[in-house]
Structures are given as C-alpha cells and as structure tokens.
Amino acid sequence: MSKNGKALFIDGEHHYEAGRIPEAFETYRRAVIQIVDHEDVLQKIPGVPAHFPQEMIALIWQNFIAIFRESGSPFTRGKRKLHSGHPSAPEAYDLVYAFRPSGSSRAHPEFKGPQGKRLLKAMQIIAGFALAILAWNEGDRSTAAKRYQEALDIAATHPPFNAVTPGLMHLDRIVAFEVQEIRKNLAILIDRDAITAEVAGSNQGGLRKEVLNVPHTRIGDDGNILAQQGTFVVATDAGCKKIAYCGVECQKADWKKHKTTH
C-alpha cells in the first residue's frame, strides 16, 4: 500500500534530520506528486503558527524548494553533471518547471476554487524564484529576468502576495516576503546589466539573494510542526546539548518526549 503525502513528508523529515539530504529531497518530491495526483491539495495541518503555511503541500513545497536552491546545493537540472560537477536531478527540475509562473493554470486542475488558485499562485511564485536563480547561475540572465518578472506578474493578481504589510499570516506572509526578495534580485540583475553595458566585464553591482526566503519546516511523527529553521534563532537544549529548538514554545511542546529519551 502506497504512503500518503503526510507519511512521505514525515519520512522526508527523518531523512533530513539524519543528514540524508538526497533521500529527503526525493521523498519531498514524491510527497508533492502524491498529494497533487491523489489527495486534496488544500488539506491543512491544524494549529499552525502565523509564520507557517497551513496547507500541507505548501509546507512540503517550501522544504523541497529550500533544498533545490540552497546555497551550495548539489542538485541541478539536466541529465548529466554540469561544469560545477554537481549531480543532476532532472525529475526534481521537471517538477519545479511544471509549476513555473508562465505555466497555464489549466495544467493543474487539482487546484480548484479561489483557495486552490491562490495556493497554485504561491507555488508558482516560489518555483519562479528558484528557476530564476538557477538560470542566473548558468549565465542565462534573460531567462532569469523573465522568471522573476513572471513571478511578479502573478503576485500582482493577489494583493496579499504583492507587498509585505502588517497582519499578514501563513501563506500570504511567506509569499509576500519572497516577492519582496524577487523585486530586489530583479533590480540587481537589471542594474548589473546596465553597468556591464557601460564597462565590459564589470562585476560591479549589488549582491543578489542566493537562497530562497524559504525555511526548512520541521514536523514530528504526529504531523505537528516542531520548528522552522532559517527564519529565527535555533536554540540547543541546555541539558543534553543535542536537541535544537526554535524557541521556548517548541521546547515545551517536545519536553515530555525529550525527558524520556535523553
């Protein structure tokens, strides 16, 4: 019997915690496909804090994309190693590309109704950011600019995504911060090209944001969120010096189990 998306997500978490990044990467990919093909894409995790997406697939997507575009990531597009020597991940690239901002919403009929379309737009924006950085890394600046602009065009169709404003929560908050970084990167790309046009070979200009503003979300075996790495300080338990927590609330949530195992 095949596992559902939630079970695959938890498997991916176990791989990630054990340092098996390629296995985590592949398991997250399978989890996304499982949910899109066989489950309700709008299924949510209950009791999610405001700085997390509520939708299960959005949580998996941000973990998957975070690995895909993490600084120094060993995963690239194509069917063979690139000049960097990094192994390719064509199936992962194909999945991200399937959610590119310029893709037709008709290609994803599973995302139904206003909330489904909102979720699809969020995934497309985050995918666009990843594809833009990948194109930039490969020296394809025109495609990078195109992907950034496509992501911004989608954000403009859903006001909460289009600007960071007070009171934003969950998916709206996460995507708004991504859009903010996309604008900065596009401006840097345009700026740098303008400088290069004046001074051939110039490396002047701003520094783009290399890593997506997509933290790696931790969930436990029960499906509850434990922590989120990448957006705030992760503290280490004072007793055993091994277990990391994002803060006091995470530590309290895990305390009973932690005491019995350490």
> Residue 70 CA to chain centroid, in angstroms?
9
Model pLDDT, residue 207: 53
Question: What sign has the CA pseudo-torsion 203, 204, 205, 209?
Answer: positive
CB 206, CB 183: distance < 8 Å: no
Model pLDDT, residue 241: 38
CB 185, CB 132: distance < 8 Å: yes
Residues of the chain with pLDDT below 70 are 1, 71-88, 193-262
CB 63, CB 12: distance < 8 Å: yes
DSSP-derived pairing of the beta strands 244-245 and 235-236: antiparallel
Q: How far is CA 133 from CA 127, 216, 245, in A?
A: 10, 18, 30
Q: Give pTM, 2 decimals.
A: 0.75
Rounded distance, CA 252 to CA 116, Å? Answer: 34
Please report, for the chain, the start and end positions of each structural domain, with discontinuous segments joined by +. Answer: 5-218, 232-262
**DSSP-derived secondary structure for 136-192:** HHTT-HHHHHHHHHHHHHHHTTSHHHHS--TT--HHHHHHHHHHHHHHHHHHHHHHH
pLDDT tens digits for range 145-203: 999 999 999 999 999 999 999 999 999 999 999 999 999 999 998 887 655 544 444 44
Model pLDDT, residue 81: 43
